[in-house]
Amino acid sequence: MGFEGIGASVRRKEDVRFLSGKGNYTDDINRPGQLYAVIKRADRAHAKINRIDIAAASAAPGVVKVFVGEDMAAEGIGGLPCGWQIHNKDGSPMAEPPHPVIATGKVRHVGDPVAVVIATSKQEARNAAELLEIDYTDLPAVANLTDAVKPGAVEVHDGVAGNICYDWVIGDKAVVDGVFASAHKVVKLDLTNNRLIPNAMEPRVALGDFDTSSGDFTLYTTSQNPHVIRLLMGAFVLHIPENKLRVFAPDVGGGFGSKIYHYAEEAIVTWAAGKLRRPVKWTAERSESFMSDAHGRDHVSTAEMAIDNEGHFLGLRITTLANMGAYLSTFAPAVPTYLYATLLAGVYKTPVIYCNVKAVFTNTVPVDAYRGAGRPEATYLLERLVDVIAYETGIDKVELRRKNFIPADAFPYQTPVALQYDSGDYQTTLKVALKNADWDGFEARRAEAKKRGKLRGIGISTYLEACGIAPSAVVGSLGARAGLYEVAEIRVHPTGSVTVFTGTHSHGQGHETTLAQLVVDQLGVPFDQVEVVHGDTAKIPFGMGTYGSRSLAVGGSAMVKAMDKVIAKGKKIAAHLMEASVEDIEFKNNTFTVAGTDKSKTLTDISLAAYVPHNYPIEELEPGLDETAFYDPKNFTFPGGCHIAEVEIDPETGVVAMVNFTAVDDVGRVINPMIVEGQVQGGVAQGIGQALLEGCGYDADGQLTTGSFMDYTMPRANDIPNMSVATENTMCTHNPLGSKGCGEVGAIGSPPAVINAVVDALKDYGVRHLDMPATGAKLWSIIQAATPRMAAE
Amino acid sequence: MYDFTYEKPSSLADAVKALSGDMDAKALAGGQTFIPVLKQRLNKPSTVVDLSKLGLSGITVAGDKIVIGAMTRHADVASNPDIQAKIPGLAYLASMIGDEAVRHRGTIGGSLANNDPAACYPSAILALGGTIKTDRRSIAADDFFQGMFTTALEQGEIITSIELPIPQKSAYEKFRNPASRYAIVGVFVAKHASGVRLAITGAGQGGVFRHTEMEKALSANFSPDAISGIVTPADGLNGDIHASAEYRAHLIGVVSKRAVAKAA
Ligand SMILES: Cc1cc2nc3c(=O)[nH]c(=O)nc-3n(C[C@H](O)[C@H](O)[C@H](O)COP(=O)(O)OP(=O)(O)OC[C@H]3O[C@@H](n4cnc5c(N)ncnc54)[C@H](O)[C@@H]3O)c2cc1C
């Protein structure tokens, strides 16, 4: 056993159970007498429900009960709540149409739940679901953002005029317009951010249980934040008090944001378990996941930058349409506003910024945060725009970035879009990335590729993101209906081993390892004597869960605070045992020492005394050694860095091959370098997926055209090149660890680097911009269209 | 899937009987197409007749032919030394189907019986001029493929083996659908003593087809240059969200040249 504290690449302890098939996922949990729910979903995008005949289904073998939307409504079950309220530019609140758990009156997207069939086996429930007779009147549907805001467009919700959920602004338009009016040059770019389907490896599952003796409900669910689900579902949907509701999210096989939200199925199985007094389980099929998990991205924007004659950025002006889908998912309204527009300064000292975002309802699956959430959209827009500025002015794209960077001595740096960055050094991450990618050797590689008939291109992205979400007061003032602190309980057991109870949730990130390393570091307890418990509201005091790369920066900081309390109490006990004054006790390497003497006690001596308080300062101190801390961050954290992509295009087919990828990120203090590297690799893989492969499509009728892996291009291992991943870190200045976060940087920084590389590869074809994903078919059309012109020149 | 009866006969005669007596009975080979279809409830068979106990797998060289049992898995075709040496295009084709799991379950007979317009094997069997042997007859490849998901097989007819003449040269090139990794355009070219046969899968609305213009040019001059001027019209080709008919038409030219270059 070597060094296992902060900075050690300790192997992930959870992987032993995952790789040996011993993970305990929600679907692995079965309760006595369990029933199975199958959700009948809308097969059309928009329709009036005239009548649902449940008679045949109810009479089918094995069926215990069929519920429709009216059954829940009749019991006063509310709709699914939205956790964030945005205000329009005129100060009025956003439109917040009802989001029934099971559709009533109308269905609004393919996949909208219409009925639930509960039977003694899944097979029987599926059989019976086919017997439901639903009489619909089809309505015209609108799936596409630009269509949805056209005058006379179909209304997704009655009374939501023009399908506008909100029309929000940040920045002073008059000031920004003034800067544009007198600028040397304005560079404009229209672009879309393609819609994505998250596709966690483990589909969603929910199992509701009701204890007939105690009247307690338990929901086992695939969630990134069980306490939030308990709060939302208990308080706002089913009206179950927290003391009667346990939510347990055991091992979860990937989330990427899609398992943050409170979903209808969770409420359905919990409610049904209470009605039927039996456990009810629902397990998504993959095709259901495509049409019921919240999707990501889906923006259409126009971006303009005003510049002076040397290429300095003077002002940025943006309008964005953001797709909300048919209903507001839990955090959807925050994504294109406070997680997007506030990031538009990026790493640049652009003095004034104005952004108008219209959030739009369409007849599609709700859209919400997906790895990066808002920040990939902002980064893509900005980093594409910067490349287009370079293209139009002829200024070198690296030089253009350098001259506009916020300098390393300017921190704390107040941006014009609300955020205050605490630390960063963009010149350094750029410099190291250029070196690691051998930027200077690129033209030789391009020439060599040309000999092989390939078009080689290189692209760069210098990005910044805001994570470590988030100061409660700040997000509260921005419309959040929750606080975003984190909670940790550190339980030192009588013999000195430690259990950590964290309110964050690990669904692939490796918290059981990283968080244990914090205990090794601060308390000196050996790694194998530290257990990290997460995911169970019955065990953990409280927590806001894992998303926005917050687990370490916020959850880890809560642990530090709780361990500070453990040490403080331990010192008092040690002082008593060693007959010294508390001020003279020092704690280091698991040992309390009386300063300047050789008198010492180990943490185990102290914990034993705390639990067996025979010789103990019982008058002043309670027994036990178990401390809890709530930590509310003072600010967001601001990871940033530089990503460089190199691609080769086959001009005969248009197909892009990723040949090199270099990431140099500033993630603050690194606890486990191996885990950081893995997180960056995974994020970059998703970013490459967005840039080259993935794109959720709907046809004009609102049918999903990419409803399975036959048509939705998930990246595979051999689509992803070997990557060079490194960090160049500056410390976060406002949390005790100095950590910023690494979970999303890969997905945020990489897409523009890839597209910039593709555009660079096509520079001889006069390509200024192209939208993601850069598929072979798309590039072939571009090359085809440009070839005759090139021949003519 | 819907409930069905499962049978695993141990003689070909019993299997034929089980399948012929009942219009709704279906054969199960590797299950790599059929089981997903069942899981999606797109098919409701009365009886599923598992062909795995009929002794239909194995690869043998018989003079100037290679005979492959219908139940031979893709992985076995890919790794067979005789096929690698004598029909390298076929070994390569099998190695590019799906993923490891699919290749260790899926069978050549199942693929041919299914005749998915984007499947790989039909192009090889057609270009090689193979013969499909069934429980009751022999069918020439030219007569076997009859359009998307349609073959010359009768109700209850079971493919037992595939007989392939060993060509002088062969190669397969596949332009994959980025999502499913089936063929958007797959080209199998085989140079026989009697001339060149070149078959295209993935592209045609009617499933696999021979490109006679290219065959003629290649029979005269087996080199990529021989076909570089041949333009394939987009009419009659598939178009979908991944590739328009025009793109497919263009890819037929590109992929065919690459296949020939590889074989030559
Ligand atoms: C993820 C994935 C990727 C794939 N990728 C590719 C690819 O890239 N290229 C490609 O070509 N294919 C691909 N396939 C399909 C794969 O090759 C299948 O194995 C094949 O199409 C069917 O063979 P099977 O043995 O699995 O047949 P089954 O699925 O068992 O049967 C298919 C059909 O054929 C009938 N049948 C089976 N055997 C016989 C027989 N001996 N006689 C008469 N009828 C019979 C069955 O009744 C059924 O109707 C892929 C499949 C999957 C799941």
Looking at the fold, whether A565 and A442 belong to one and the same domain comes out as: no
**Residue where a domain terminates, one of A579, A608, A631:** A631
Residues B228 and B174 in one domain: yes
Inter-chain contacts counted by CB atoms under 8 A, chains A and B: 37
Instruction: Give tens-digit pLDDT for A536-586.
Output: 999 999 999 999 999 999 999 999 999 999 999 999 999 999 999 999 999
Structural domain contains residue A172? no
Nearest CA in chain A to B255: A653
B175 vs A653, A697, A711: nearest CB: A653
Bond prior to B45 in cis (omega within 30° of 0): no
Specify whether B41 is located in the same domain as B69.
no
For residue A543, give the CATH number of its domain. 3.30.365.10
Q: Is the pLDDT of residue A1 over 60?
A: no
Range of the structural domain that residue B145 is part of: 56-264
Q: Which of B129, B92, B124, B133 is nearest to B208 (CA)?
A: B124
Same domain, A620 and A653: no
pTM for the predicted model, two decimal places:
0.97
Chain-chain contact of A713 with B179 (C-beta, under 8 angstroms) = yes
A697 lies in some domain: yes
Whether residues B39 and B63 share a domain: the answer is no
Express each pLDDT in B202-231 by its tens digit: 999 999 999 999 999 999 999 999 999 999
Q: What is the pLDDT of residues B243-264, one digit of tens each?
A: 999 999 999 999 999 999 999 8
Of B1, B2, B29, which is closest to residue B15 (Cα–Cα)? B29
The pLDDT mean for chain A works out to 97
A325 to each of A81, A364, A589, B181, how far by Cα in Å? Answer: 15, 5, 54, 30
The phi and psi torsions of A598 (rounded to 5 degrees) equal -100, 15
> What mean pLDDT is predicted for residues A447-458?
98
Secondary structure letter of residue A412 according to DSSP:
S
Assess if residue A5 is contained within a domain.
no
SS (H, E, C) A582-616: HHHEEEECCEEEECCCCCEEEHHHHHHHHHCCCCC
Domain identity same for A546 and A626: yes
Residues of chain B with Cβ-Cβ distance to A776 below 8 Å are 178
Together in a domain, B206 and B90: yes
Based on the domain organization, do A491 and A462 belong to the same domain? Answer: no
Same domain, A644 and A732: yes
Of chain A, the percentage scoring pLDDT greater than 70 comes to 99
Bridge partners, A630 (sequence order): A487
State the CB neighbour count (10 A cutoff) for residue A130: 14
Instruction: Kindly state whether residue A168 falls inside one of the protein's structural domains.
Output: no
Residue A267 included in any domain? yes
Domain identity same for B8 and B63: no
Nearest to A104 by CA among A81, A79, A125, A126: A79
For an interface test with B, give the residue of A652, A719, A775, A783 to mutate (most B CBs within 10 A).
Answer: A652
Token pair, residue B65, equals 């032919």
Residues B67, B178, single domain; the answer is yes
| Residue A127 included in any domain | yes
Whose Cα sits closest to atom 39 in ligand 1? B110
In single-letter form, the type of residue at position A494 comes to P
CA distance A435 to B169: 47
| Spatial CB neighbours of A201, under 8 Å, sequence gap ≥ 6 | A253, A254
d(CA A101, CA A83): 16
The whole-angstrom distance between A181's CA and the closest CA on chain B is 43
The residue segments making up the domain with residue A542 are: 485-631
Q: Residue range B157-184: average pLDDT?
A: 98
Closest by Cα among A638, A624, A647 to A565? A624
Co-location of B125 and B158 in the same domain:
yes
Same domain assignment for residues B16 and B108: no
Taking the C-alpha atoms of residue A477 and residue A185, their distance in angstroms, rounded to an integer, is: 36
Q: How many domains does chain A have?
A: 3
Is residue B200 domain-shared with residue B254, that is, in the same domain?
A: yes
Report chain B residues touching chain A, CB-CB < 8 A.
2-3, 40-41, 175, 178-180, 241-244, 247, 250-251, 254
Q: Give the dihedral of Cα atoms A187, A188, A192, A193; nearest 10 deg.
A: 30
Domain shared by A541 and A623, yes or no: yes
Output the domain CATH number for residue B159: 3.30.465.10
Same domain, yes or no: A362 and A385: yes
Residues B16 and B69 both lie in one domain:
no
Which residue is it, tokens 């605070």? A561
Cis amide leading into A73 (omega within 30): no
Q: What is the DSSP string of B18-34?
A: HHHS-TT-EEESS-TTH
> Residue A577: how many CA atoms within 13 Å on its side-chain side?
26
* End position of a domain, from candidates B54, B73, B92: B54
Q: Are residues B46 and B70 in the same domain?
A: no
Around ligand 1, the residues with Cβ closer than 6 Å are B 26-34, 51, 70, 97-98, 102, 105-107, 109-111, 113-114, 116, 119-121, 153, 158-159, 181-182
Chain CA centroid to CA B31, Å: 15
Residue A147 lies in a domain: no
Tell me, what's the pLDDT at A789?
66
Confidence at residue A582, expressed as pLDDT on a 0 to 100 scale: 97
Longest Cα pair distance anywhere in chain A, in angstroms?
96
Q: How close, in Å, is residue B63 to chain A by CA atoms?
A: 39
Which of A123, A127, A709 is nearest residue B179 as measured by Cβ atoms?
Answer: A709
Shared-domain flag, residues A318 and A434: yes
Domain for residue A477, yes or no?
no
CB atoms within 10 A of CB A661: 27
pLDDT of residue A136: 98
What CATH number has the domain bearing residue B15? Answer: 3.30.43.10
- Which of A569, A603, A631 corresponds to the end of one domain? A631
Considering the domain architecture, whether residues B242 and B177 belong to the same structural domain is answered as: yes
Complex ipTM: 0.95
Residue at a domain's end among A577, A606, A631: A631
Per residue in A60-90, pLDDT (tens digit) is 999 999 999 999 999 999 899 999 999 999 9
Phi then psi for A208, rounded to 5 degrees? -100, 140
Count of beta carbons in the 10 Å neighbourhood of residue A525: 21
How many distinct structural domains can be found in chain B? 2
CA B232, B236, B237, B239 torsion-angle sign? positive
Do A627 and A640 fall into the same domain? no
CATH number at residue A91: 3.90.1170.50
